[in-house]
Amino acid sequence: MYTPQVTDHYENPRNVGTIADASGTATVGSPASGEMVKLTLKVVDSVIVAAKFRAFGCPTAIASASALTELVTGTQIREAEKINAVQLSEALGGLPEDKFRYASVAENVLKNAIADFLSK
């Protein structure tokens, strides 16, 4: 049911945790709703130098957040703003329609964390 990429990111999630001195932070969802992703970003000279996440939900939610942190680390803020759910799905080997919403959650938390950074 899960692609090898989803399984790998779920079983070996990258960049789990929280950045204490984060430049941008966002949370989408809640444990009560069954899914939640919190993303913290560290930005230096308009480059995302670190990204960490905490997630609650199914394997696809965790894998989407993990893949997101890999995609954005080392990326200029303006380029990271363009990352979308389709790209996340592709990075995970393609998500089935009923799991695509988790890539959308990851996209939303990224956009919100970037907006938080830009508002400061």
Question: Running along the chain, 120 residues long, what does each successive block of 10 average in pLDDT?
Answer: 95 98 97 91 99 96 98 98 98 96 97 98
What pLDDT shows up at residue 31? 82
Torsion of CA 110, 91, 47, 38, to 10 degrees: 30
The sheet carrying 24-30 orders its strands as: 24-30, 35-44, 47-56
Q: What CATH number corresponds to the domain at position 22?
A: 3.90.1010.10
What pLDDT shows up at residue 20? 97
DSSP labels, 54-65: EEES-HHHHHHH
What pLDDT shows up at residue 69? 99
Q: Residue 36 pairs with which residues in a beta bridge?
A: 29, 56
**Pairing, β 24-30 against β 47-56:** unpaired
Per the structure, how many domains does the chain have?
1
What pLDDT shows up at residue 47? 99
What pLDDT shows up at residue 54? 98
What pLDDT shows up at residue 33? 82
What's the domain range around 27?
4-118
